[in-house]
Structure formats: C-alpha cells, structure tokens
Amino acid sequence: MPELRQNFMTKEWVVIATERAKRPDQMAVKRPAKPSVSFSPNCPFCPGHEAQTPPEIMRLRNGNGSDWKARVVPNKFAALSPECKPERKIRRSLRVLAGFGVHDVIVETTDHSLAMALMPDAHVADILRIYKMRHDALSLDPRIAQVTIFKNYGMDAGTSLEHPHSQLIATPVISHQVRERFQEALRHYDDFGCCIFCQTIEEELQEQVRVVLESEHFVAIQLFASPSPFFTHIYPRRHMASFGDISANEIADLGRVLRTLLAKIYYGLENPDFNFTIRTAPSECVGVRYFHWYLSIIPRLTRTAGFELGSGMFINTVIPEEAADFLRNVKVDTAVGVS
Ligand SMILES: [Zn+2]
Ligand SMILES: [Zn+2]
C-alpha cells in the first residue's frame, strides 16, 4: 500500500508511492555523455587559463610547490557582491537588503573531466579541507549569517560549466527554511532533552534497513521520508552543530565516505546528475546541542512537478529501504583516478 511518511526534521509529508514503485535498478538509464577530455582549450578552470578567472583567493599546491591541485576564486558571475554593505531598508511592508555576500568557486582539480566519484579519497578530503578553511574564515565576518556549501553536477543539477567545481555562498541573512529546521530541532530538544539527529542516527544504526555505509566517524543513510529516489544523508557520529568543528581525522574519513557514496551512485545509477550540500549551523548557532550538521546528496533522477510545487509534498517512487539495499550492493574500488 502507498504510505505517507513524515520527515523527522522538516515535518513535511512524503508520499512513498508503492503502487507505482520502481525497482532501484530501473533508475539506472543511459544518460547524455559527460566530458571525457582532461583539458579543454575553452575552459577558464583548466590549467594555463588562470588569468581568465578573477584573482585567486587561495590554492592548494602540489607536493613540489610548482603547480596547483585545487583553487578557490571569486565567482565571475556572482549572485551576491562583497563590495556593498548589508544595510536593511524597510518601507511599509517591503524589506530590502543590499545584495551583500561572498560567492566562491572551488575548482576541484586540474583535470577537466575527473568526476569527484573517481578522485582518490585523499583528494576529496583536500576539497573538504578547503570548504572548511573558507567556511571558518567567512563565519568570523560579523556581516555574514549563513554559509552554504554546495556542488551542482550536470545540467539537470543546474551547472553550466563542465570542469569539476563546487561553490560557497555566504549571505547576510538566514533563510526561512534553515530557521524552520532549527526551530523544529530546538523543539525536539526541549521536549525530549536530546538532539533529534543523534537520536535518529542511533535508531537507524539499530534498525540497519536504511544504512548504506558506516565508517569510524560517519554514517550514510537513505532518509525514511525520502523526498526523491536515492536522497542520501551523511551524518557525523559525534555531535557537532557546525561543519567547522570537524577534526582532521574526521575530514580524512569523510573524504573516503563521500567518494565511496558518489562512486556507488556513479556506477550503480549510470553517472546521474546530482547536487550535494552541507547543512551546517549558521554562525550564531555554533556549538548548540540541538542541531547536528550533515551532508545531503540529491541525485537528479526525477523532476519536480505540479503536485510538489502546489503542496510542498513530494512523491517518491523508489522505496528508501530498497534504495539503501541497492547502494549497499554496488561494489566500488577503494581508490581510483589520479591526484
Ligand atoms: Zn576545464
Ligand atoms: Zn546530535
């Protein structure tokens, strides 16, 4: 029978449409080819084209110091600008803030077509280390309220540039959606005296039906009320509200876990487009006991349609427990690609 399931954090309902459910392997269909050349003469992120980007913010050097492994540059077409002051203007019921913000692009590798799923674990850990450095630096700026780190992979995930990259946008306001999640998490903490995420992780580890993989420091699961097929969360086992609190050992471990999951999705589902994002405490909530940061991976296997837009509820045609079982069984190599 179809089932309505409630998301533990947003309290939103999801329809798990068992009557028209697809087997997980039916989501693996042939897709348009992604780039397969390691260098593109027209790409601003390829080596030798460094002058085509705005002045570099930082770079990760190769061992010999002569070359780079990854770079951070301001987005040339930034959504927000660090040049203005975040002053609020309120006119009758209208509220406006100058478009202050920081918009970074993290160029993940020199190779034009090396998908993160195929990078060595240590290189993915390097990218995560860059995220943390930029997250920490920007979180100290009193003008910045929220730092959002994300990756768009493929056209359906909203990217226009092929070269492997991720982005960071720091904003002077906290979104309503993030506020709501925090309020729900705080309510749970007040009612039950524990972090709702710590509780969920413990329950998922006991049940084991939606766990995809476990490592020393992280747990990856399919959400019980998963809004779309193969929606995956990676949680740190240790309670931490902010991504900025991650330790060096945990970053190395997360590099392994994230790369392995992306490889399972890459091989198991025929290299689909996806987004991932790190959901972390805004600067003003660092250290709270009621929120727990996590990384969310959303493969773009279906499209949002009228019901979702009109109701805010999603229909998922892949049963999360079956998606977890499918991903657990996709075997991937431990280390591939070159750094
Ligand atoms: Zn390139
Ligand atoms: Zn927790």
Per-residue pLDDT at 244 exceeds 80: yes
Ligand (nearest to CA of 294): 2
Q: Residue 279 C-alpha to ligand 1 middle, in angstroms?
A: 28
135 Cα to the center of ligand 1, angstroms: 25
Closest ligand to residue 202's CA: 2
Q: Give residue 257 CA to ligand 2 midpoint distance, Å.
A: 19
Q: What does each C-alpha distance from 71 to 93, 98, 259, 277, 293 come to in angstroms?
A: 43, 28, 19, 19, 25
- Considering the entire predicted model, what is its pTM? 0.94
CA–CA gap between residue 13 and residue 253 (Å, rounded): 33
How confident is the model at residue 59, as a pLDDT?
A: 94
Expressed in angstroms and rounded, the spacing between residue 233 Cα and the centre of ligand 2 is 14
Number of the ligand closest to the Cα of 42 = 1
pLDDT, tens only, 28-83: 888 877 878 999 999 999 999 999 999 999 999 987 666 899 999 999 988 898 98
Helix (H, G, I), strand (E, B) or coil at 201: helix
Residue 151 has pLDDT above 90, yes or no: yes
Query: What's the gap in Å between 74 CA and the centre of ligand 2?
Result: 33
Q: What mean pLDDT is predicted for residues 117-128?
A: 97
More confident residue, 87 or 232: 232
Q: How many CB atoms are closer than 10 A to CB 67?
A: 11
Q: Mean pLDDT, the chain, as a whole number?
A: 93
Does residue 132 surpass a pLDDT of 80? yes
Which ligand has the minimum distance to the alpha carbon of residue 112? Answer: 1
pLDDT score, position 304:
84
Q: How confident is the model at residue 337 (pLDDT cuts 50, 70, 90)?
A: very low
Ligand 1 centre distance from Cα of residue 248 (Å): 29
Q: β-strands 314-316, 13-16: how paired?
A: parallel
- Ligand 1 centre to CA of 41 (Å) is 8
188: Cα within 13 Å, side-chain hemisphere? 21
Question: Rounded to the nearest whole angstrom, what is the distance from the C-alpha of residue 42 to the centroid of ligand 1?
Answer: 8
322, 316, 261, 195 alpha-carbon torsion, rounded to 10°: -100
- pLDDT band for position 86 (cuts 50, 70, 90): confident
Quick: pLDDT tens for 266-299: 999 999 999 999 999 999 999 999 999 999 999 9
Q: Is the dihedral of CA 188, 192, 193, 194 positive or negative?
A: negative
Q: Which of 182-191, 304-313, 323-332 has the lowest mean pLDDT?
A: 304-313
The ligand with the least distance to the CA atom of 235 is: 2
Ligand nearest to the CA of 236: 2
What local confidence, expressed as pLDDT, does residue 66 receive? 63
Angle at 303 between CA 197 and CA 13, to 5 degrees: 40
Q: What DSSP letter does each residue of 1-21 carry, written as one string?
A: --EEEE-TTT--EEEE-GGGP
| Out of 102-116, 138-152, 301-315, least confident range | 301-315
pLDDT tens-digit series, residues 165-216: 999 999 999 999 999 999 999 999 999 999 999 999 999 999 999 999 999 9
Percentage of residues in the chain having pLDDT higher than 70:
97
Question: Quick one: what percent of the chain has pLDDT higher than 90?
Answer: 78
For residue 43, give the ligand nearest its CA.
1
Distance from the alpha carbon of residue 225 to the mean position of ligand 2, in angstroms: 19
